[in-house]
Structure 1
Amino acid sequence: MTTPSDDDLEPPVDPLEPEYVELVRPYVITNGRDVSDTSRFELITLVTAADDTQRKAHLDPEKRELVTLCEGGYLSVAEIAGHLKLPVGIVKVLLVDLVENGLILTRRPIPPAQLADIQVLQEVLDGLQARFG
């Protein structure tokens, strides 16, 4: 009969260790929901916490962390996923739940400015050169 060596014995898993937390599967975080309902969120959609965040105490840990993260101002969906170290699809599912409960607010990103007409810019430049030499 052989006795196991010290290398064969593994210490018990501490549920508070980061390695254990990473073992939680994404479908557990989303309660088995699919990401098909998340098309309204783009990577650059901006998200912030609503003023009424008193109800966040009854949320799942991931949703509570997301709301707390967004209390500081607007963050994009991609930034939230990076801070939470979760896949973007999972973050989108959590965002759908939080929007429906009124805990977060979203807005589309500010569109890029449209380019001015080259002809108008040239006329302004010509006018300035004629006036100031």
Structure 2
Amino acid sequence: MTRKEWLDDDAGPVVRPFALIGGRARSSGDDLDLIALITTTGVSPRDRADISPEQATILELAADTASVADIASDLNLALGVVRVLIGDLQDQGLVRVRPPAQVAPLPSARILKEVINGLRAL
């Protein structure tokens, strides 16, 4: 997915990331994990004008399920910006966020302390 975002090598992006999200730093997407999976809900946006080109790209990527990190990489945008964009789509009911599956239970504090004490004893 290639898009021309650069006027020339020195100019930088045509639209600065903070402008894409209206200068907001917080949204309902703030708690998204890097490996959370994003999928579309199948609901169409009420008005395509309400969706930015970046959000339209997120919807295309999420049609096949994509992680937050993959979306940020494909869009070549900062993670914070992508989280806000995804949060807005989630608020509109256009995407569903599935937290990453926990592979194994976390070790208890007692086991971690024993490992640390064992390493110090070496």
Shared fold by TM > 0.5?
Answer: yes
Classify 1:90/1:51 alpha carbon distance in 2 versus 1 (closer, same or farther; 3 Å): same
- Alpha-carbon distance, 1:105 to partner: 0.3
Runs of 4+ in 1 over 2 A off after TM superposition: 35-39, 53-58
- Alpha-carbon distance, 1:51 to partner: 1.0
User: Are 1:45 and 2:31 counterparts?
Assistant: no
TM-score by length of 2: 0.70
CA contact (8 A) 2:30 2:84 kept: no
CA contact (8 A) 2:26 2:84 kept: yes
Per-residue CA distance 1:104-133 (angstroms, 9 max, x = gap): 000111111359xxxxxxxxxxxxxxxxxx
Work out which structure has the larger RCO, using CA pairs closer than 8 Å and 6 or more positions apart in sequence: 2
Match of 1:121 in 2: none
Match of 1:95 in 2: 86
What secondary structure does 1:31 align onto? coil
Classify 1:96/1:36 alpha carbon distance in 2 versus 1 (closer, same or farther; 3 Å): closer
Counterpart mapping for 1:49-68 below 5 A: 49-55=40-46, 57-58=48-49, 59-68=51-60
What secondary structure does 2:31 align onto? coil
Match of 1:85 in 2: 76
RMSD: 2.3
Unaligned 5+ segments in structure 2 are 107-122
Count of residue pairs the alignment pairs up: 99
Q: Which has the larger radius of gyration?
A: 1
Match of 1:22 in 2: 13
TM-score by length of 1: 0.65
User: Are 1:70 and 2:57 counterparts?
Assistant: no
Unaligned 5+ segments in structure 1 are 1-15, 116-133
What secondary structure does 1:19 align onto? coil
What secondary structure does 1:18 align onto? coil
Classify 1:110/1:25 alpha carbon distance in 2 versus 1 (closer, same or farther; 3 Å): same
